[in-house]
């Protein structure tokens, strides 16, 4: 399966502003790219690319006053298979975890692990450790939290989501991540492309959030918002929570004026047209 990935994001900056963007496909998926994956800006600006402390590819630039457009279109090869499910994957004792994984057990900006210890053990402490316990956490969050764009706010933490029981995709993931960490299961936030492939179409398209859990010496994708294996999940970035993987960070004022994302399977007709042109 080939998936077209594209975005067009526009800002207006009243003054010169430095920015960092995490809009590239994650380095772990660059081998699957069939076309270049490079951020384009209007006006054309010098861009410096670097890898941050979490292993994400970042683009750094300084935008002049006025309108700014960020665009890209690329094509990626995907297996076409749903997210892997491994019911036998086991939790590891904290003493056996790699050093670099330990940070994903701790408090972070949106995940107040220390506030959830008793709550998590009351709800999930009696369950069999491993994959099924993480899935039970997803089931609980999916059933108890209502999705509503109107209730999105950048300050909402896992505790707020637990109390209010409403939010957007990142809020579902923050709550599930916090439950996992409170049970000593390493969990990290993930963001990327997730089109409506194999499921009913929901418009408009957007970047998506999910989370990853460390079981049996590797990371696995879970999704408390959709709560089902999905096809065509394309990772862009991972971090402790949403604060580490913001799509754009501006060090000054940059007002968002337009936001458009495309994630869709390339049709057979499009492939045939390309082959004919070649």
In this structure, the number of other CB atoms found within 10 A of the CB of residue 208 comes to 23
Both 152 and 258 in a single domain?
no
- The answer, yes or no, to whether residue 277 has pLDDT greater than 50, is no
Both 156 and 230 in a single domain?
yes
**Angle CA(234)–CA(36)–CA(273) in degrees, nearest 5?**
90
The proportion of the chain whose per-residue pLDDT surpasses 90, expressed as a percent, equals 90
Both 239 and 254 in a single domain?
no
Phi-psi region of 143 (alpha: psi -120 to 50; beta: other; left: phi over 0): alpha
Both 236 and 105 in a single domain?
yes
Give kind and range of the element (H or E) at residue 210: strand 208-215
Both 63 and 174 in a single domain?
no
Both 64 and 173 in a single domain?
no
Both 136 and 178 in a single domain?
yes
d(C-alpha 209, C-alpha 231), whole Å: 14
Give the residue numbers spanning the domain of 55.
Answer: 2-79+246-277
- 181-191 pLDDT per residue, tens: 999 999 999 99
Both 133 and 147 in a single domain?
yes
pTM: 0.93
- 129-143 pLDDT per residue, tens: 999 999 999 999 999
pLDDT the model gives residue 204: 73
What is the CATH number for 260? Answer: 2.60.40.2250
Both 149 and 252 in a single domain?
no
- 109-136 pLDDT per residue, tens: 999 999 999 999 999 999 999 999 999 9
How many domains is the chain partitioned into structurally? 2
Residue among 238, 246, 255, 260 nearest 154 (CA): 246
Residues 6+ apart with CB under 8 A from 175: 141, 145, 158, 161, 162, 224
- Residue 30 has, within 13 A of its CA and on its CB side, a CA count of 12
């Amino acid at each position: 399966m080939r998936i077209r990935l594209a975005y067009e994001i526009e800002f207006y900056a009243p003054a010169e502003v430095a920015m960092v963007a995490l809009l590239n496909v994650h380095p772990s998926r660059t081998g699957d790219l069939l076309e270049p994956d490079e951020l384009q800006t209007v006006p054309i600006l010098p861009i410096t690319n670097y890898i941050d402390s979490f292993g994400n590819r970042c683009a750094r630039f300084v935008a002049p006053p006025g309108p700014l457009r960020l665009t890209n279109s690329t094509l990626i090869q995907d297996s076409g298979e749903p997210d892997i499910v491994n019911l036998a994957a086991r939790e590891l004792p904290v003493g056996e975890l790699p050093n670099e994984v330990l940070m994903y057990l701790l408090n972070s900006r949106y995940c107040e692990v220390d506030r959830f210890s008793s709550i998590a053990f009351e709800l999930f402490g009696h369950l069999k450790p491993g994959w099924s316990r993480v899935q039970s956490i997803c089931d609980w969050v999916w059933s108890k939290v209502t999705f509503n764009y109107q209730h999105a706010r950048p300050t909402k933490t896992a505790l707020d989501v637990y109390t209010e029981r409403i939010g957007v995709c990142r809020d579902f993931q923050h709550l599930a991540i916090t439950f996992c960490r409170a049970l000593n299961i390493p969990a990290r936030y993930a963001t990327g492309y997730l089109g409506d492939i194999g499921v009913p179409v929901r418009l408009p398209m957007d970047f998506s959030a999910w989370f990853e859990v460390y079981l049996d010496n590797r990371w696995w994708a879970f999704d408390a918002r959709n709560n089902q294996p999905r096809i065509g999940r394309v990772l862009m970035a991972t971090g402790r929570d949403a604060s580490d993987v913001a799509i754009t960070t501006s060090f000054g004022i940059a007002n968002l004026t337009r936001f458009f994302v495309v994630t869709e399977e390339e049709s057979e007709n499009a492939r045939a047209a390309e082959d004919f042109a070649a």
